[in-house]
Structure 1
Amino acid sequence: MSTVEMIPQQTRRLDWLDALRGVAALAVVFEHALKPLLPEARFPVKAVFEPGWYGVMVFFLVSGYIVPASLERRGSLRAFWVSRFFRLYPMYAVCVAGMALLVMAGWDALDGRWNSRPVSLTLGHLTMLQNLLYMPNLVNVLWTLSYEMAFYLLLTAMFALGVNRWSTTGALGSAAVAVVGGACLPVALLSVGGQGRMLTVTLVVIALVAAGMVAVLRGSGASRRAGAIVVGVTVLVLLAVNQQYPAAPWQGWMILATMFAGTALYRAEQGETSWKNAAWVALVPLCALWLARDELGLQTAVAAAWLTFAAGMAVLRHRRLPRALTWLGLVSYSIYLLHPLLLESVEWFWPEPLAVPAGLRLLALAGVVGLLLGLSALTWRLVEAPAQRLGRRLVSGPGHTDTARAADAVVRG
């Protein structure tokens, strides 16, 4: 079979990941729609199942599965980071701009710390590490991007040190820290203590990560390894002692374990490691279930996320899926970032939702979802797709063939 013939087949093999992303995005939308539109169902639903946690755990498994593969397939850290920048930041900027418009219109308000610490919070959000700098997230869903960024930085450090294939070790090590340190690790050790301290910590973290990344990307030998160590240690320290959300430090470490577990499953599926070795990552959800033993809703969400991903790998990986599902995955990042803005607007119009007839609220929910899908289609066409094409052009050398460009376009994770 020729390479050209293999590209559509590879695309189909990734359809299941798009489908899972679409389902995950809608689960998060449902979670956040409960408060402004169905408050009477919010606590009964979340008591037995946390749809938001289900959605983000599926997202993290998908990221762990495909993002390291993207880095290793390219074999270039520069190309990886250019791709990540144009994948994440343009739509991130649209989300921030949308929030700014809501604030200016009086439909929403910023956390009070934006008035006293604007420089710190702005710098933190520019790095996407704001949640690990113990800062309020400008939009509630942005906290997950801090863990994505932490994962990318750790992957970079591991790649530079030549240990990027230690995925099972990374998963089990992170889970072990969650179990052992979950009860004793401080939630916020570094950034609490006044606006000056937060700014100092932010500037130090930016300096360390920037210096480390320059050494990794432009250095060689010992300087490259030193840069990788600086980046890795900085991220691990933030994960250990400086998280804003989730409140329990074990949850952040379990997120990291989940992403590494997704990578281990990818390696087993590709034949890079044995299934016997990858099977150890089954301890990750078991540890999560034990740590969440007092939270039934979180337990069922974690279990459902893992079962969903396992079913996708086992059943959907080689099947042609409905175009609607794969399209949802394609625009899932826009769905994820835009839906809080629409729901905040609903909350401004209906500050007391229980005073509004249930039928009207259900109709409004359908309208919000319809508008959200329309806006997401628009931002995909006008923002995400052009930005990703630009990113691919920037990393494509003179010898980059059309087939290679098509292969690059396949990985949308």
Structure 2
Amino acid sequence: MQTRPSKPNLKSLTGLRFLAMLPVFLTHAAFEGVFTDADASWGFLNVMGTSGYLAVSFFFVLSGFVITWSVRPGDTARAFWRRRFFRVFPNHVTSWALALVLVLTVGTGIGLLPSVTQLFLLQSWVPDPAYTDTGNSVSWSLAVDVVFYGLFPALLALVNRIAPKRLWYWVIGTAVAAAVVPAVGLAALPDTPEMPLSGVSESQYWFAYFLPLFRMLECFLGMLMARIVLTGVWIRLPVLPAVVLVVLAYWAAQQMPYLYRLSAVTVLPVALLTAAVAVADAEGRGTPFGNRVMVWFGELSFAFYLLHNLVLKYGHLLLGHTEVDGEQVGRTWDVPGGVAVIAGGFLVSVLLAWLLHNGVEKPAMRRWSRPRKARTTAAAGGSSRPADAVPAGEVLAP
């Protein structure tokens, strides 16, 4: 595994991670239906649209970009896998256990097999909502990440062999492949049973949204964009026009059938924005996303991602609930009360994310991400770089 050394830290991409987390949080909050006024609840959901799906696509692209950007000279596949394992699983297992406690506390129930597949991050391979929409449901994206990490050394060798002048052809081809996935799902899979509010079936939705085989295309696209920047064939697209492209693509996606709104229309503009922000940092120009507050929140974003839906979903039920058609439904409030509940959920999520990040994530990386010999050598050499430091913006995207 090799790529160009001495790459600058990408603070703006770290800050942008948390900005992208906001629509994910707000979309999940909208699904909770905390407002007594049905018009307010539906209005909130309609305003969020598919912005949460756009953010998830960004995280996959970002994951491929920053990991490719931050590959260390002389790194090995084994060392890479070790770092990724101890960045993902301590946080994941902690949030998985917390989800089980909350499930038992509110009495919603969870099947043994779905729980086990979720623990081992296999749930996204199963075309059944009982596996993906249970426990800590957001961990489905980690099932995509671990497959990508497992294949990353081989994918990097492939990307490194592509001639720089051909990288853009690969970008277009990968974006087209991602855009074709919904069409294949709609044509090949049955249209029943139907997912609520979507007009597509559960299997079609799973095929286009959850299946790691296809979501990895977005990670691969991020890898290609990193190589484009590193090899000097970037098209010099500034950040502001890149943002405008994403906004226009998002608007266009809302005019398309549901499955195409998830990522098919927006994935290429998202990849262009990711590269544009990285170039701004690499050239020392920076962006508003790279300020200290945004970066601090960005560093918490993985932990926040894993915890926020537990706070929203089970916190809502713990505040009071009734049973409707065999399902537990949380209580509702007037608009000011509902806004206060959502704001409270955000603050609790940030606090718990800070505790998870500093109490589990960082200590695990410091203690186990490198072999004992490497840690001892670094300490003896007086290295100022802490054992859990992340080089050149190597961050986990949820």
Give how far 1:170 is off: 6.2
Give the TM-score normalised by structure 2.
0.70
Deviation at 1:56, TM superposition (A): 0.9
Q: Equivalent residue of 2:256, what SS? A: coil
Q: Distance in 2 between matches of 1:291 and 1:169?
A: 27
Q: Match of 1:30?
A: 26
Measure, in 2, the Cα distance between the counterparts of 1:75 and 1:325: 30
1:64 is matched with: 64
Instruction: From the superposition, tell whether residues 312 and 153 of structure 1 become closer, same or farther in structure 2 (CA, over 3 Å).
Output: same
The reply to whether residue 15 of structure 1 matches residue 8 of structure 2 is: no
Partner of 1:335: 304
Partner of 1:345: 314
Judged with a 3 Å threshold, the aligned counterparts in structure 2 of structure 1 residues 28 and 182 are, in CA distance, closer, same or farther, namely closer
CA distance change for structure 1 residues 40 and 151 in 2, over 3 Å: closer, same or farther? farther
Question: How high is the TM-score relative to the length of structure 1?
Answer: 0.68
| 1:292-341 Cα distance to aligned partner (Å, 9 max, x none) | 82248647865874565355235455327321100111110110000111
The residue identity in structure 1 corresponding to 2:390 is A
Partner of 1:275: 234
Q: After the TM superposition, which of the residue ranges 36-45 and 65-74 deviates more from structure 2?
A: 36-45
Name the CA distance, whole Å, in 2 between partners of 1:164 and 1:387. 31
2:332–2:338 contact (8 Å) kept in structure 1: no
> For 1:108 and 1:303, how far apart are their aligned partners in 2?
39
- Alignment correspondent of 2:76: 76
**CA pair 355-83 structure 1, distance change in 2 beyond 3 A:** closer
Q: CA RMSD in A?
A: 4.1
State whether residues 185 and 204 of structure 2, in contact with CA within 8 Å, keep that contact through their aligned partners in structure 1.
Answer: no
Which of 119, 132, 141 aligns to 2:125? It is 132
Matched, 1:309 2:277: no
> Which of 345, 367, 391 is matched with 1:390 structurally?
367
Q: What aligned pairs does 1:125-164 form with structure 2 within 5 A after superposition?
A: 125-134=118-127, 136-137=131-132, 138-159=135-156, 162-164=157-159
Q: Which residue of 1 aligns with 2:217?
A: 257
1:409 aligned residue: 390
Classify the secondary structure of the residue corresponding to 2:218: helix
Match in the other structure for 2:333: 356
Secondary structure class of the residue paired with 1:393: coil
Aligned equivalent of 1:215? none
In 1, Cα distance between the equivalents of 2:20 and 2:207? 22
- Deviation of 1:70 after TM superposition, in Å, equals 3.9
Q: Measured at CA, do residues 41 and 390 of structure 1 come closer, stay the same or move farther in structure 2, by a change above 3 Å?
A: farther
Output the amino acid matched with 2:144: Y
**Amino acid aligned to 1:374:** L
State the alpha-carbon separation in 2 of the partners of residues 81 and 342 from structure 1.
30
- The code of the aligned residue for 2:11 comes to D
Secondary structure of the residue that 2:308 maps to in structure 1? helix
SS in 2 for 1:374: helix
Q: Match for 1:294 among 251, 257, 265?
A: 257
The residue that corresponds to 2:324 in the other structure is none
Go from structure 1 to structure 2 and tell me whether the alpha carbon gap of 1:378 and 1:364 turns closer, same or farther (over 3 Å shift).
same
Match of 1:100 in 2: 100
Cα displacement string for residues 191-226 of structure 1 (whole angstroms, at most 9, x for unaligned residues): xxxxxxxxxxxxxxxxxxxxxxxxxxxxxxxxxxxx
> Does the C-alpha gap of structure 1 residues 287 and 370 become closer, same or farther in structure 2, counting only changes over 3 Å?
closer
C-alpha displacement at 1:405, in angstroms? 5.6
Instruction: Give the aligned residue type for 1:158.
Output: L
Q: For the residues of structure 2 that align with 1:307 and 1:292, how far apart are their CA atoms?
A: 22
Q: How far apart are residue 267 of structure 1 and its match?
A: 1.4
- Counterparts of 2:106 and 2:188, CA distance in 1: 31
Deviation (angstroms), 1:132: 1.7
| 8 Å contact from structure 2 (residues 136, 309) kept in 1 | yes
Q: How does 1:369-384 map to 2 (within 5 A)?
A: 369-384=346-361
Amino acid at match of 1:294: P
Call closer, same or farther: CA 1:265–1:364 in 2, change over 3 Å.
Answer: same
Say if 2:83 and 2:365, in contact at 8 Å, map to a contact too. yes
Structure 1's 71 and 393: CA in aligned 2 closer, same or farther, altered over 3 A? same
Residues 341 and 188 of structure 1, relative CA distance in 2, 3 Å threshold:
farther
Higher mean alpha-carbon deviation, 166-175 vs 351-360, is at 166-175
Q: Is the CA contact 2:58–2:271 (under 8 Å) kept in the aligned structure 1?
A: yes
The residue identity in structure 2 corresponding to 1:35 is: F
User: Are 2:12 and 2:291, in contact at CA under 8 Å, matched by a contact in 1?
Assistant: no
Distance (Å, rounded) in 1 between the aligned partners of 2:275 and 2:140 = 25
Preserved contact between residue 83 and residue 392 of structure 1 (Cα < 8 Å): yes
> Where does structure 2 lack aligned partners over 5 or more consecutive residues?
190-201, 322-328
Bigger helix share: 1
Corresponding position of 2:343: 366
